[in-house]
Amino acid sequence: MYKNLSPGAIGIGGSMPEMIALAKETGFGGVDLDVGEAMRRAAETSWDAVRALFADAGVRPGGFGLPVEFRQDEATFETSLKELPKIAEAAAKLECYRCPTWLLPCSDGLPFDENFAQHARRLRACAQILKDHGCWLGLEFVGPKTSRQGHQYEFIYTLPGMIELADAIGTGNVGLLLDCWHWYTSHGTIEQITSLRAGQVVYVHVNDAPAGIAVDEQVDNVRRLPGDTGVIDIGGFLKALQQIGFDGPITPEPFIPELAAMPAAEAARVTAKAMDRIWKLGGLA
């Protein structure tokens, strides 16, 4: 496992060279890939030159977001799917093989079974294209009860439920984007994680929850830095991932406005200190 920086997840931004340099400076072993920028830079220079940006810094590409609009209408889905082959090919050129995305935990139009079938069909099409380029698709469930309230139909919001969908997709390259926040708010257990195979976890998010709020009252975008409050058992979470042999990126996603208000370098340093703290809690330091 390695510490991975997703600039957008802490509210910062910059060019690819700037973010790679910042990741190196603050002790992150990886940084998420902006495939569009990578393709533009390769067109202007070469793929070797883009690869050298990472290699020279000793920083690896962590993951790239699924660019397909599978949550919208069929025409939008089909149009956006056409872009995936070239994006997956570009990511693979940089040995970036992890493609995470998230699923809505509810619907106001589709009952569960219809929603499940639609997700399986659409994500199977995505996963097959990714597989053609050696890439894995990571699916994130959204755990908080507050995210489902007020909607007509519930959808998948737990780890076992998402594994069931991954199995139904059936391409062999689909697993979890496992976020400790969603694991906690879905009343997840350590045993759920230790029952997995390493290949069933594609990508990982870490964060913490505010103290003094019941688990079913937690709100999705109100979080804390990893290890900040101790509400989430981040040590047990990381130890479980280590136990099953997960070796991929561990990415902080705290959604804290204060970080976005800081200069990028300061925000990355503050986040890196939090990652150092949980690395010790997880027995990784």
- Residue pLDDT, tens place only, 35-77: 999 999 999 999 999 999 999 999 999 999 999 999 999 999 9
What is the number of alpha carbons within 13 Å of residue 92 lying toward its C-beta?
Answer: 14
At 243 the pLDDT is: 98
pTM for the full model?
Answer: 0.97
Tokens of 154: 């519930």
DSSP string covering 98-135: EEEEE--SEESS--HHHHHHHHHHHHHHHHHHHHHTT-
At 179 the pLDDT is: 98
At 176 the pLDDT is: 98
At 184 the pLDDT is: 98
DSSP string covering the chain: -EEEE-GGGGT----HHHHHHHHHHHT-SEE---HHHHHHHHHHS-HHHHHHHHHHHT-EE--------TTS-HHHHHHHHTTHHHHHHHHHHTT--EEEEE--SEESS--HHHHHHHHHHHHHHHHHHHHHTT-EEEEE----GGGTTT-SEE---SHHHHHHHHHHH-SS-EEEEEEHHHHHHTT--HHHHHTS-GGGEEEEEE-B--TTS-GGG--TT--B-TTSSS-S-HHHHHHHHHHHT--SEEEE----HHHHTS-HHHHHHHHHHHHHHHHHHTT--
Confidence of residue 218 (pLDDT cuts 50, 70, 90): very high
Tokens of 158: 């737990």
At 53 the pLDDT is: 98
At 28 the pLDDT is: 98
Strands 136-140 and 106-107: unpaired
Within 10 angstroms of residue 28's Cβ, the number of other Cβ atoms is: 27
At 142 the pLDDT is: 98
Question: What is d(CA 203, CA 62) in angstroms, rounded to the nearest whole number?
Answer: 9
At 222 the pLDDT is: 96
Within 10 angstroms of residue 77's Cβ, the number of other Cβ atoms is: 18
At 182 the pLDDT is: 98
Confidence of residue 29 (pLDDT cuts 50, 70, 90): very high
Domain 2-281 in this protein, CATH class = alpha beta
- Percentage above 90 pLDDT, the chain: 99
Each residue of 115-170: pLDDT tens digit?
A: 999 999 999 999 999 999 999 999 999 999 999 999 999 999 999 999 999 999 99
- Percentage above 70 pLDDT, the chain: 100
At 146 the pLDDT is: 98
At 242 the pLDDT is: 98
At 11 the pLDDT is: 95
